[in-house]
């Protein structure tokens, strides 16, 4: 089973608080959110500071998905194909609400289309600018990847299937 111990250095980037600010008004604050990709715990702390009830732990992400009580998955998963593929298939089998950050090109991948073929209500939120991430080796400097990311959503009852921020 893939887990975070299989990450290589290039996989370890964390989500800034700013990445979530623009989508907060689409998130129901009465729900319990799970971030299964704990990382350094900073994303959970940031989301709590933004007023969301978020849980997570420094355990195998697939174990958390199966064993914790939550309403919505909110995360920036590892983008490596081996981990992301397994995560997307697990996400698909759960059939639970989620909002995840992904490089927009991933929605064109065979594994994404296969995992979510039966889902008719995948929705996208396109940010107004390229997202920056936090490099743990230099947390004071944001990392600007060469790819664009979006928020992939399911069962969030957004007002339209594609939202441009």
Could you read off the pLDDT of 38-93 as tens digits, one per residue?
A: 888 999 999 999 999 999 998 888 888 888 999 999 999 988 888 899 999 988 88
| Burial (CB count <10 Å: 0-12, 13-18, 19+), residue 59 | middle
Neighbouring residues of 164: CB distance < 8 A, sequence distance ≥ 6: 126, 128
Rounded to whole angstroms, how far apart are CA atoms 44 and 35?
7
In this model, does residue 120 exceed pLDDT 80? no
Q: What is the CATH number of domain 4-164?
A: 3.40.50.150
pTM as predicted: 0.87
Q: Which of 94, 81, 114 is nearest to 6 (CA)?
A: 81
- What does the DSSP assignment read for 74-141? EE----SHHHHHHHHHHHHHHT-EEEEEEEGGGGGSHHHHHHTTT-S-EEEEE-SS---EE-TTSTTS
Confidence at residue 14, expressed as pLDDT on a 0 to 100 scale: 83
Beta strands, E only, 35-161: 53-55, 72-75, 97-103, 122-126, 133-134, 142-143, 149-154
Inform me whether the pLDDT recorded for 3 exceeds 50. Answer: no
> What is the domain partition of the chain in residue ranges?
4-164
Question: For residue 11, what pLDDT is reported?
Answer: 58
Instruction: Give 124-150 pLDDT, tens digit per residue.
Output: 999 999 888 887 777 666 667 778 999
Q: How many helices (H) and strands (E) does the chain have?
A: 5, 10
Question: Tokens for 19?
Answer: 């990445």
């Amino acid at each position: 089973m893939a887990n975070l111990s299989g990450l290589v250095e290039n996989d370890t980037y964390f989500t800034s608080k700013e990445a979530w600010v623009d989508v907060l008004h689409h998130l129901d604050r009465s729900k319990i959110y799970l971030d299964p990709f704990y990382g350094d715990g900073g994303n959970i702390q940031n989301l709590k500071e933004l007023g969301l009830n978020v849980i997570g732990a420094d355990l195998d992400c697939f174990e958390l998905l199966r064993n914790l009580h939550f309403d919505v998955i909110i995360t920036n998963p590892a983008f490596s194909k081996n981990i992301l593929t397994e995560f997307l298939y697990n996400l698909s089998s759960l059939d639970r609400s989620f909002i995840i950050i992904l490089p927009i090109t991933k929605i064109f991948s065979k594994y994404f289309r296969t995992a979510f073929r039966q889902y008719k209500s995948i929705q996208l939120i396109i940010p107004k600018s390229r997202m920056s991430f936090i490099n743990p080796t230099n947390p004071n400097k944001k990392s600007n990847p060469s790819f664009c990311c979006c928020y992939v959503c399911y069962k969030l009852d957004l007002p339209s299937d594609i939202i441009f921020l």
